[in-house]
Amino acid sequence: MRPFTQHTGLILRMNRSDVDTDQIIPKQFLKRIERTGFGRFLFFDWRFLDDGSENPEFELNLPEYAGASILLARRNFGCGSSREHAAWALGDYGFRVIIAPSFGDIFYNNCFKNSMLPIKLDEPTVENLFARTAEHIGYQLLVDLERRTITDQHGLSLSFEMDDFRRHCLLNGLDDIALTLKHEAKITAYESDEKRSAS
Strands 140-144 and 6-14: antiparallel
Tens of pLDDT, residues 112-133: 999 999 999 999 999 999 999 9
Is pLDDT larger for residue 71 or for residue 187? 71
d(CA 6, CA 3): 9
The band of 82, judged by pLDDT with boundaries at 50, 70 and 90, is confident
pTM: 0.88
The band of 33, judged by pLDDT with boundaries at 50, 70 and 90, is confident
Single-letter amino acid, residue 195: K
CATH topology of domain 6-198: Aconitase; domain 4 (3.20.19)
d(CA 25, CA 46): 10
In the predicted model, is pLDDT for residue 156 greater than 60?
yes
In the predicted model, is pLDDT for residue 182 greater than 90?
no
Gyration radius from the chain CA atoms:
19
Q: Residue 42 carries which DSSP code?
A: T
Domains of the chain, by residue range, sit at: 6-198
